[in-house]
Structure 1
Amino acid sequence: MTDKQSEIVQPVLVRVNGVLLKEQTAQELDAISAFRPHPSDLLIASYPKSEGTTWTQEIVDLLLHNGNVESCRQAPITTRNPFLELSTKISSQTGLELLEEMDPPRVIKTHLPFQLVPVGIWENKCKVIYVARNAKDTLVSYYYFHHINQMIPKPGPWEDFVHNFMRGEVAWGSWYDHVKAFWEARQKRNILFLFYEDMQENPRREVERIMNYLDLSISNDVLDHIVEQTSFKNMKDNPMANYAFVPKEAFDQSTHKFMRKGVVGDWENHFTTEQSAEFDKDYEKKMKDVNIPFRTRL
């Protein structure tokens, strides 16, 4: 067993400020909180398995490199866009260690809820892109992700996971709290709020929105090229983006891949009629104070 593999330990979740986090993340939270970004850094934030996270990372990388695919395939996505709270060294370095070695501007990924994002992000007025996906499809994707991710606890039976998700008793906490906090802060903090469903419906439109937010000017031909290169099929076949480079001891993709389906409405293949009704009732209660235009079908 290599040193890298031996660092993968039995996953444990601990509660920090009401949010369940991996034990290693909780132990390093002070250092994460103290991270001081450069004003030119970009943060891409999302709740886990919002599906558009990796997609957005690749879009941003191609936009920043004017569509140069080879430049974006020189290293795995975890190296190009460090995962801020990555604590287990599945890529030989933690997210913070990678960031320390990189010169700004840097593109940073996080799943941390709004209240745990380093305050320096806001103080330095960094640009932030938040990617959100409807709750039901996120739940399904997160359920499958628990089966391959060896760094978080196994999900247990489907019906149990549905209730754990509804209660926020999963890693990175409540989906409801996560999306609501970023939504409510989007204007004050200049956050570009993206919906996965919008990206699926009209990827070219959303790529242009990202380009404009980043104050870039790119030709129509290059934008078309970026849309094509970041299609689900091309992303799934891209070894620098599909997480095939992650050791099996961290991501066991033998049963299904990190990029599984990439569709809107897959929840209908998993929820029973009773579960869907119960979920909808709970959702209405938790989201009654906001009007976020999520769509569960296209």
Structure 2
Amino acid sequence: MDLKPRQEVLDCNLIKRSKLVEVKGVPLIINTATNWGHLWAFKARPEDLLICTYPKAGTTWIQEIVDMVQHGGDPQKCARAPIHERMPFTDLFPPKPMTSGLEDAEAMPSPRTLKTHLPVQLLPPSFWVQKCKVIYMARNAKDNVVSYFHFHRMNQGMPEPGNWDQFLQDFLAGKVACGSWFDHVRGWWEAKDRHPILYLFYEDMKEDPAREIQKVAQFLSIELTEPVLKRIEQNTTFEIMKANPMTNYSTIPSSFLDQTVSPFMRKGGPGDWKEHFTVAQSEQLDDVCARKLEGSGLTFHTQL
């Protein structure tokens, strides 16, 4: 991604709060919806690895872990470029002359590691045809919605979030970008029985990172020695990544991501939802969760 025109565009204040437009019943950022034909026609390659999450479910964390695993835990190799350049975000269509994530992906040689936030039913069909491996990371709904709320506050290209209570109600109704969290986590959970998908949980990664990193390595058919595993674990802690300009999005101008409003990497742990939810809100989300995930076998931990 060429940051020179990006910087120029962002400094010209062309980044504006976005609107949502439905694509096949799922609300998406208007620029993504406008370019839907191009995205749906994207040509995946057999060697592609796709990282998928609902927004703010530990996406950057799992991206950095994957890059570390692929590069033998070498921090220098992983510092070759900011994370959004190493792993293009296929659903991102910023204002011209900035390149889209799709264009960045198409220009990248194989093997590619790509990122998406799309629900399973909107994934471009070529990924299924090519039998691409997918790593999916899910995070409990309470922490996920809190993180997504603060992301809306600081990301000047996202829709206005309104106040916390309004945003929570929109989230519960699936009226936010990428739609219903419940449909998203359940759709990908059910898809793992039919496709090569490694389904991970944010809370498991927090609880035992070495165990979960090994799952990633095994899924990618990569053997990790104990010293390499330890190095990956150390270099992908929240504290290290929050201070790392290659992962903390500090290379993106503040006219786009205003980190004075809220840091891109804010808290990074389970349980912060307790600072935001009322008892009634917590019970409401629990009720919706029980109803929407019933019979799926999916369970989430809201604290460790």
TM-score, normalised to structure 1, is: 0.96
Counterparts of residues 232-271 of structure 1 (less than 5 Å): 232-271=238-277
**Preserved contact between residue 10 and residue 256 of structure 2 (Cα < 8 Å):** no
Task: Compare 198-207 and 93-102 and name the one that shifted more.
Answer: 93-102
5+ long unaligned stretches in structure 1: none
Q: Secondary structure at the match of 1:262?
A: coil
Task: Compare 143-152 and 8-17 and name the one that shifted more.
Answer: 8-17
Task: Compare 126-135 and 245-254 and name the one that shifted more.
Answer: 245-254
Check if 1:79 corresponds to 2:85. Answer: yes
Q: Secondary structure at the match of 2:121?
A: helix
The one-letter code of the counterpart of 1:17 is K
Counterparts of residues 217-232 of structure 1 (less than 5 Å): 217-232=223-238
Note the alpha carbon deviations across 1:190-225, whole angstroms, 9 max, x for none.
Answer: 200000000000000000000000000121101100
CA distance in 2, matches of 1:244, 1:91: 21
| Residue in 2 that maps onto 1:24 | 31
**Preserved contact between residue 21 and residue 171 of structure 1 (Cα < 8 Å):** yes
CA distance in 2, matches of 1:141, 1:179: 16
The one-letter code of the counterpart of 1:127 is K
CA distance in 1, matches of 2:256, 2:42: 25
Check if 1:120 corresponds to 2:126. Answer: yes
CA RMSD of aligned residues (A): 1.4
Check if 1:209 corresponds to 2:218. Answer: no
| Residue in 2 that maps onto 1:180 | 186
Task: Compare 269-278 and 163-172 and name the one that shifted more.
Answer: 269-278
Equivalenced residues, count? 297
**Preserved contact between residue 4 and residue 89 of structure 1 (Cα < 8 Å):** no
Check if 1:45 corresponds to 2:41. Answer: no
| Residue in 2 that maps onto 1:146 | 152
Q: Secondary structure at the match of 1:2?
A: helix
The one-letter code of the counterpart of 1:71 is K
Task: Compare 204-213 and 59-68 and name the one that shifted more.
Answer: 59-68
Deviation at residue 35 of structure 1 after TM alignment: 0.8
Deviation at residue 10 of structure 1 after TM alignment: 3.5
The one-letter code of the counterpart of 1:79 is E
The one-letter code of the counterpart of 1:36 is K
CA distance in 2, matches of 1:270, 1:238: 28
Note the alpha carbon deviations across 1:80-102, whole angstroms, 9 max, x for none.
Answer: 00001110059932111111211
CA distance in 1, matches of 2:163, 2:96: 27
Change (3 A) 1:90 1:179: farther
| Residue in 2 that maps onto 1:104 | 110
Deviation at residue 31 of structure 1 after TM alignment: 0.6
Check if 1:9 corresponds to 2:16. Answer: yes
The one-letter code of the counterpart of 1:146 is H
Check if 1:136 corresponds to 2:136. Answer: no
5+ long unaligned stretches in structure 2: 1-6
The one-letter code of the counterpart of 1:219 is T
Check if 1:162 corresponds to 2:168. Answer: yes
CA distance in 2, matches of 1:211, 1:142: 28
Check if 1:295 corresponds to 2:301. Answer: yes
Deviation at residue 3 of structure 1 after TM alignment: 3.1
TM-score, normalised to structure 2, is: 0.95
CA distance in 2, matches of 1:90, 1:231: 35
Deviation at residue 255 of structure 1 after TM alignment: 2.2
Change (3 A) 1:150 1:290: same
Note the alpha carbon deviations across 1:25-77, whole angstroms, 9 max, x for none.
Answer: 00111111111111111000000011x21111111111111111111111111
